[in-house]
Amino acid sequence: MSFEPLKGIRVLDLTSVVVGPVCTARLAQYGAEVIKLESPEGDLMRGLGGLSPTGQHSGAYLHLNRGKRNLCCDLKKPGSKALIKKLVASADVVIANMRPQALVRLGLDAQSIRAAHPDKIYCLITGYGTDGPYAGHPTYDSVVQAATGMTGLMLARDGAPAYVPMLICDHVVGEIAVGSILAAVIQRKTTGNGASIEVPMFETMSAFVLQEHLAQQSFDPPVGPPGDLRLLSPHNKPVKTADGWIAFTVNTDQQVRAFLKAVGREELIDDSRFATVGARAQNVKEWFAIRGAPLTDKTTTEWLEVLQRADIAVKPCHTLETLPRDPHLEAVGLLQCDEHPTEGKTIAIRSTISFDNVYPALPSFAQPRGWDTLAVLEDIGYSPDDIAALLKEGAAVVNLAAAPTVAGT
């Protein structure tokens, strides 16, 4: 049994790097036919995402671009204009994360496309909303982390700003874009109308930060300073054990009593400062100093056994080396071996979401540039002679697997 609710939906993918490919990879996972339009220079993430055997497919690129048909096209060539028009006309959904000014120049903005095709669903993932003074400014994940105050949270807690060392904004916004597109697909099925969607990274991630950290400033007048004081406590970190680190959380009164007993602090169980949720909120600094104190009299394994017996949420702090070998992940088969036509054996990540106890099938490999150019051109109505003309001009390019890009980190 397969789960392909988007089967029959064609997506024209004008995105690159991370935020857009996250979105289109999820749509491909749900059965959409995704045609990734890529320039001869290639998606930056092919090399920027790390080293690879050929310099063509970084690990990040492999994971973010599975299940997509790759059409390589040079938008600087005259023949590309008609090609793009045909692609747009054949698609149900168009997704872009280029700067709005560039899309307007190419005639690939929402207004141009929906004027010709009112039934199209157009999703633009931007750095900043097009109605504000930052519209059109370039951005990347780290810049968004800083602009939204995420790095400021680290400053408040640790005394120095810091990035989350993964592209968290790109992933979150990409998945939110998926939800907006699915809503528009449902609307089109019921009304026949398309939609022009804009998902701005800055506003979206600002809302995420403020949902938690506007906190006491959510009232008029404010009842205290901004920030969730628990999360901003300098003690809100993994706890040292005799041989490593563990992470645990205790929130309810019952959990707190079980924790204090487990760590040998029974004398605090009846302390009025920590006896209730409200009391602990009033005494955050003192409570988190207790909760975050080192537990170096036992090993990580020993503390896991003790805290799990007390029904406390606890797990070891994995590293990048140990996470793939986690026994739970091994048991559920999250990582799978795969064969790539140019990179050889690779590690693939299956869907984490099941439907009726079935995981969507692992989409096909991330294609080299131009891998499916000929087949896509045939699908949208080009004759053999027309295809030959496009290839001769260089407007369309076939299989650039042999031309490596520069790999970086």
Secondary structure tally for the chain: helices H, strands E: 17, 12
Among the listed residues 43, 170, 326, 356, the single catalytic one is 170
pLDDT of 3 = 84
CB 83 within 8 A of CB 389: no
Please report which helix (H) or strand (E) contains residue 142, including its range. Answer: helix 141-147
- As a whole number of angstroms, the distance between CA 95 and CA 247 comes to 39
Number of neighbours of residue 266 by Cβ within 10 angstroms: 11
- As a whole number of angstroms, the distance between CA 138 and CA 99 comes to 7
CB 68 within 8 A of CB 366: yes
Please identify which residue in the block is written with the tokens 């995704």. Answer: 34
CA angle 35, 41, 43 (to 5 degrees): 50
Catalytic, 271? Answer no
Q: In sequence order, what are the beta bridge partners of 241?
A: 295
- Going along the chain from its start, the domains and CATH numbers come out as 10-208+353-397 (3.40.50.10540), 239-316 (3.30.1540.10)
pLDDT of 406 = 36
pLDDT mean values, one per 10 residues, the chain (409 residues) = 89 98 97 97 94 94 97 96 97 96 94 97 97 95 98 96 98 98 97 97 98 96 95 96 97 97 96 96 96 97 98 97 97 96 96 92 93 97 96 93 43
- As a whole number of angstroms, the distance between CA 406 and CA 28 comes to 27
The pTM assigned to this predicted structure is: 0.94
Contacts of 296 (CB under 8 A, 6+ apart): 240, 241, 242
CB 291 within 8 A of CB 250: yes
Within 196-282, residue ranges assigned H as helices are 201-213, 253-262, 277-282
